[in-house]
């Protein structure tokens, strides 16, 4: 069985937890980061630790989902649980696939793939529309203008496939039920501050005349759990600082990426995340220089303290499906290791003592 370690040396869990608590307490501005591959139980335990520490609490969504958070906060959303998609007559895959069997090919469902650069939708779509990356936002705006019954001047449209967009807009406003599927955790090169806003606004506009919903694909085991748990416990979905006057929200400001780049944190607690997969090289390099406590099923190189836990897949608990439905996660095999939630609870106790 894998052991917890302190400075690379095997350690009993309690001793390692005590060292971790001391390390985090000594920091001026600790960061608790991750919660992506964690159960709800571990996520709420991580919030308790962050609150007790006066830490900044963040998840990878602060980078990958930033545009979606902004769109939600400005406009709201038009959502449906995935079982609703069986009503769909039209599915528009906006530079992505789908995680819902309800949107697989079937009679009565027209499937359109909008491909942006190398980000392509399902290969078996009925219709395709190809856009260059710099045409993406203009295309979304043109669609929305068409959905509002406005025209678009050819002079301004440039190389946009105006007729194809006009036709797609017509289909969206006249279908009985449409679903627009998008990538809600795009890779760094595909991130854009206004795409999610433009998609949300488009869907809202179409919904005035038909019934259209937006489905955002998420990555990771439980990103929707993280934003839900953080919201009901702190009021905010990510990037929360527990300051003197309670939790404060700072999208961008309290995001791990910039905090690390600026050297504004001096200790890190990693929970349910492989940080290098979500941080820039600069931020990851800075992370390597900061004292680190890591929970996980795989030992983390260079962590001052490693606390061995069960893997997400072997941990019983609750998780949120991508569409926001909370489910019970019952692992096929159990683990000999304590869960993240258990270890975090011990850490919280150690911090209190």
- 191 lies in the site for other proteins, by CB under 8 A: no
- CA gap 71, 87 in Å, rounded: 26
Give the per-residue contact string, 273-302, with other proteins (x = CB under 8 A; - = no): ------------------------------
Element (H, E) at 90: strand 90-94
Q: Which residue has the tokens 């820039």?
A: 280
Judged by CB under 8 A, which of 8, 10, 105, 158 binds other proteins? 158
CB 329 within 8 A of CB 238: no
**Stretch of residues binding other proteins (CB under 8 A), selected from 7-15, 113-121, 227-235, 276-284:** 227-235
Instruction: Find the shortest distance in angstroms from Cβ 280 to other proteins.
Output: 16
Toward other proteins, which CB reaches closer, 88 or 305?
Answer: 88
Binding-site size for other proteins (CB under 8 A) equals: 87
Tokens of 111: 């499937």
In the complex, the smallest distance separating the C-beta of residue 91 from other proteins, rounded to whole angstroms, is 15
Beta bridge mates, 4: 11
12: CB partners within 8 A, 6+ apart: 4
Task: Name the strand (E) or helix (H) holding 155.
Answer: helix 154-157
Among 318, 331, 335, 342, binds other proteins (CB under 8 A): 318
Nearer to other proteins, 199 or 307 (CB): 199
- CB-wise, 183 or 197, nearer to other proteins? 197
Q: Does 81 bind other proteins (CB under 8 A)?
A: yes
**Residues 76 and 69 sit within 8 Å (Cβ to Cβ):** no
Shortest separation between residue 76's beta carbon and other proteins, angstroms: 4
Binding to other proteins by residue 232, rule CB under 8 A?
A: yes
Residues numbered 52 to 71 that lie near other proteins (CB under 8 A) are 53-55, 69-70
Give the whole-angstrom CA distance, residue 266 versus residue 27. 6
Q: Give the phi and the psi of residue 285 in degrees, each rounded to 5.
A: -65, -40
> Judged by CB under 8 A, does residue 152 bind other proteins?
yes
Q: Which is nearer to other proteins, 8 or 76 (CB)?
A: 76
- From residue 64, alpha-carbon distances to 82, 119, 138, 279 in Å are 22, 16, 21, 10
Residue from 36, 42, 100, 283 binding other proteins (CB under 8 A): 100
Which residue in the set 237, 272, 322, 338 belongs to the binding site for other proteins (CB under 8 A)? 237
329 binds other proteins (CB under 8 A): no
Main-chain phi, psi angles of 87, to 5 degrees: -80, -10
- Residue among 232 and 298 whose Cβ is closer to other proteins: 232
Interacting residue with other proteins among 13, 207, 329, 351 (CB under 8 A): 207
Beta-carbon contacts of 116 under 8 Å, excluding residues fewer than 6 positions away, are 94, 95, 131, 132, 133, 135, 136, 190
């Amino acid at each position: 069985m894998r052991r917890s370690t302190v400075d690379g040396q095997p350690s009993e869990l309690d001793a390692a937890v005590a060292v971790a608590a001391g390390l985090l307490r000594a920091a001026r501005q600790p960061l608790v980061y991750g919660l992506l591959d964690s159960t709800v139980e571990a996520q709420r335990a991580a919030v308790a630790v962050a609150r007790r520490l006066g830490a900044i609490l963040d998840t990878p969504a602060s980078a990958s989902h930033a545009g979606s958070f902004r769109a939600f906060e400005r406009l709201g959303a038009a959502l449906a649980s995935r079982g609703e998609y069986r009503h769909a007559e039209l599915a528009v895959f906006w530079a992505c696939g789908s995680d819902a069997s309800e949107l697989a090919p079937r009679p009565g469902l027209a499937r359109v793939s909008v491909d942006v650069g190398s980000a392509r939708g399902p290969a078996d779509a009925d219709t395709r529309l190809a856009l260059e990356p710099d045409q993406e936002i203009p295309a979304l705006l043109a669609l929305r203008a068409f959905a509002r019954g406005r025209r678009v001047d050819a002079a301004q449209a440039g190389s946009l496939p105006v007729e194809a967009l006009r036709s797609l807009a017509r289909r969206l406003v006249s279908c009985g039920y449409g679903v627009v599927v998008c990538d809600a955790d795009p890779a760094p090169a595909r991130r854009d501050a206004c795409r999610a806003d433009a998609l949300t606004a488009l869907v809202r506009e179409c919904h005035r005349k038909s019934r259209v919903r937006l489905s955002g694909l998420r990555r990771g085991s439980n990103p929707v759990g993280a934003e839900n748990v953080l919201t009901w416990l702190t009021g905010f979905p990510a990037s929360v600082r527990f300051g003197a006057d309670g939790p404060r929200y700072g999208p961008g400001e309290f995001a791990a990426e910039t905090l690390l780049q600026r050297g504004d944190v001096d200790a890190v607690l990693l929970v349910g995340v492989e940080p290098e997969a979500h941080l820039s090289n600069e931020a990851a390099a800075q992370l390597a220089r900061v004292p680190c406590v890591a929970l996980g099923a795989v030992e983390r190189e260079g962590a001052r303290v490693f606390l061995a836990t069960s893997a997400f897949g072997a941990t019983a608990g609750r998780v949120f499906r991508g569409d926001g439905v909370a489910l019970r996660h019952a692992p096929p095999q159990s683990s000999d290791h304590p869960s993240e939630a258990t270890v975090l609870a011990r850490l919280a106790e150690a911090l209190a003592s």
